[in-house]
């Protein structure tokens, strides 16, 4: 049972205790895999890199002006596997940062991040754990709203509380 629908989507991730937030508004393609299983595929704009301000001397900050070998217009592909019980989100960034998160309510999931190949340890992911406090999927026959509340952990150090919010317009 594979059907697809092109829909406007708003995906946001915020931290409730750190100055971290990201919002993506784009069109996404929603694929219905089963009665309560869906895949959502969307393209996000490229990551924005920081530039050195005029008050800083670029020579004092190593690698800050390093140019990526990938064009700045390379899109990022986000793929979400959604069900009322678990969510997996994968982002591939054409040589930029990539990641894969697994969330299931009441469970420690795995979050992996891959850095660009110029990093010190290419192709080895950074592995973190996330604990999903709540997962809510709303909508009638198709998902309209997803809200995940989770904590991110590295060993025994908490790296913040996060909320992932997904709105799919119908």
Cβ atoms of 29 and 6 closer than 8 Å = yes
pLDDT of 168 strictly over 70: yes
pLDDT of 71 strictly over 80: no
The pLDDT tens digits for 80-124 are: 999 999 999 999 876 678 899 999 999 999 999 887 766 555 567
Query: What percentage of the chain carries pLDDT values higher than 90?
Result: 58
Architecture of domain 3-45+73-168: Beta Barrel (2.40)
So where are the chain's domains?
A: 3-45+73-168
């Amino acid at each position: 049972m594979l059907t697809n629908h092109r829909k406007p989507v708003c995906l946001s991730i915020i931290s409730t205790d750190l100055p971290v937030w990201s919002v993506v508004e784009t069109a996404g393609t929603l694929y219905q895999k089963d009665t309560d299983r869906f895949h959502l595929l969307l393209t996000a704009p490229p990551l924005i890199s920081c530039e050195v301000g005029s008050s800083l001397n670029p020579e004092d900050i190593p690698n800050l002006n390093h140019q990526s070998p990938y064009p700045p217009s390379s899109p990022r592909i986000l793929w979400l596997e959604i069900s009322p019980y678990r969510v997996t989100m994968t982002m591939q960034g054409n040589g930029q940062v990539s990641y894969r998160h697994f969330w299931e309510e009441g469970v420690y999931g795995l979050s992996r991040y891959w850095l660009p190949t110029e990093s010190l340890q290419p192709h080895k992911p950074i592995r973190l754990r996330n604990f999903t406090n709540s997962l809510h999927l709303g909508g009638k026959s198709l998902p309209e709203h997803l809200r995940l509340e989770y904590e991110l952990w590295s060993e025994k150090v908490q790296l913040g509380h996060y909320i992932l919010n997904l709105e799919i317009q119908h």
